[in-house]
Amino acid sequence: MLGNIFDIQRFSTHNGPGIRTTVFFKGCPLRCAWCHNPEGIDFASDAGQTYTVDSVMEQILRDNIFYEETGGGVTFSGGECMAQIEFALALSAACKARGISVAIDTGGHVSWDNFARILPNCDLFLYDVKICDADLHKQHTGHGNALILENLEKLSAEEANIWLRFPIIGGVNDNDAHIAGLADVCRKVRHMRVCLLPYHAMARGKHGKPLDGMKEPTETQLAAIKKQLSAHTDAEIFIGG
């Protein structure tokens, strides 16, 4: 069982509770124009490295004491970790066998069967909702959002633990219609917390081209969005991961 991984980040504190090891899976079906990890998008490029389950576990287990002391664990991210479902299943099973908590950071654009298969091994889903308008979602990511929203509602119906993650990209989705759509998601979906993820320009150099029309939201804008959403959720809202 082999997986294509482009980074393994230890001592992560922004991808779930506690101190975590984040495993970045290579390849993603979406093509988000603002992606912070564009090196992780292409399935075929040589920016990744082939790992066995045992070789990833060797790195994960180095920090087991920190997971136990902080309530942390391992987060599968990407790219889109759910697009390499066989490796994700094998690695999540190995983590669970060692008593290590597993979180899945996902954009949701994969078959529901992938979620159904990994649910028994997963303690938390960090679930992105990028753009609520289907046409705009396709324009900026290459695909519509119907499958993403459908999978999210199914996870909610399965009573999965969910952190809703809402990227806020100035000039793209920082508008009243999108925020109203996010409020609707909050009302429909069982969730433990809401995370507003402000776009930042750090990844521009990775893209090798300007990201036209995109800008960082201001603190004032983020505070206003947080206030709007707070009327539609009992969960705590965080700015950042």
Q: What residue ranges do the domains of the chain occupy?
A: 2-239
CATH superfamily of the 2-239 domain? Aldolase class I (3.20.20.70)
Other beta carbons within 10 Å of 135: 10
Give residue for tokens 């980040």: 9
Other beta carbons within 10 Å of 103: 24
Residue 207 has pLDDT above 90, yes or no: no
- As a whole number of angstroms, the distance between CA 158 and CA 90 comes to 22
Task: Compute CA distances 17 → 38, 72, 153, 185, whole Å.
Answer: 25, 5, 23, 22
Dump pLDDT digits (tens) for 126-184: 999 999 999 999 999 999 999 999 999 999 999 999 999 999 999 999 999 999 999 99
Q: Which of 199, 204, 189 is nearest to 158 (CA)?
A: 189
Q: Which tokens sit at 97? A: 């066998």
Q: What is the pTM of this model?
A: 0.95
Query: How would you label 7-36 residue by residue, b for 16+ Cβ within 10 Å and e otherwise?
Result: bbeeebeebbbebbbbbbbbbbbbebbbbe
Residue 198 near residue 241, CB atoms below 8 Å: no
Dump pLDDT digits (tens) for 39-89: 999 998 777 899 999 999 999 999 999 999 999 999 999 999 999 999 999
In terms of pLDDT, which residue wins out, 116 or 215? 116
- As a whole number of angstroms, the distance between CA 51 and CA 121 comes to 20
3-state helix, strand and coil shares in percent for the chain, rounded to the nearest 5: 40, 25, 35
Q: Which of 100, 101, 154 is nearest to 127 (CA)?
A: 154
- As a whole number of angstroms, the distance between CA 226 and CA 77 comes to 25
Please give the single-letter amino acid code of residue 97.
Answer: A
The CA-CA-CA angle for residues 3, 9, 28, to 5°, reads: 45
Q: Which of 180, 170, 171, 181 is nearest to 222 (CA)?
A: 170
The H or E element that residue 70 is part of is helix 64-70
